[in-house]
Structure 1
């Protein structure tokens, strides 16, 4: 499917950046690992891009680089050589590239310290950053009901978000519209 050196690089990225997910992928069939390591390495690279610098313009440029790479894939143009982009291009079609581009665009929220405007904007962020990733993964691996996948992904994304709230607050971010027990409970019941 793609060079083993790319697969090894993607696996190493996931192992360093998300050891729990790495172990879960290692339990998957070998063919699925190729897909999952490439997608999860992509997700790690995009998720960390806004956080590796405090300069907003540099963070925007990092995310734009990923948008441009996904645009190349969507347009079926030759893609830039990169340990994650190259295997990703071998796996996804134009429609998946568009979904992943939306994921990258949603990550722009991470650059700034502006709060979400409303519940819909927050839900859109969680859906794009968690739902799109799993919809693409399950689409490559086999048939699945996209709505079931999105519902699961939203729950997982929300759980991960709740775990990140203390760190986001420490960085002077506004991770929730309201920081009350009632609002957190309402979100959890969605």
Structure 2
């Protein structure tokens, strides 16, 4: 199947602007006139609405709560540190920003293992010590039907790690470079590309 029938989401408790990721994510902006309490309230409302919408369309949604400490402003994006595969393999990814690394929580993995079969955990987090990163399905877009994986290279997406992961999982790698209007590498592939079932193709020009 191209798309999963079950997803798991992390409900963030310290959502906000992440100063450690801002250097490579040029789309991220601060909201100067809102305090943290209001930002958090809006994050909860958007999260709960997304869960309700997915469930209304027949998607099984597993919700796990973020932990307040240490602060993890991007905990709502667990797809960057973890991918789950139909053959029971799990991949843990090396994260560019130090304050994102605590998002890799053994208790989440244990909870998922209680509900699904986990045959093998492939932990790539040690590459952080070498300054090499690959951030899950932010970095890599998997076309499961055609066994092709796409990656836009950036400070968060290492070309050699991309080749390594696709070799392990049995996908043909297709890497490319993409920049924004200012010439900055686009930090994550999934902000510009997606693959899904029953999507109409289109051509977009700037």
Quick check: TM above 0.5? no
From the two aligned structures, give the one with the greater helix fraction. 1
Which structure shows the higher strand fraction?
Answer: 2
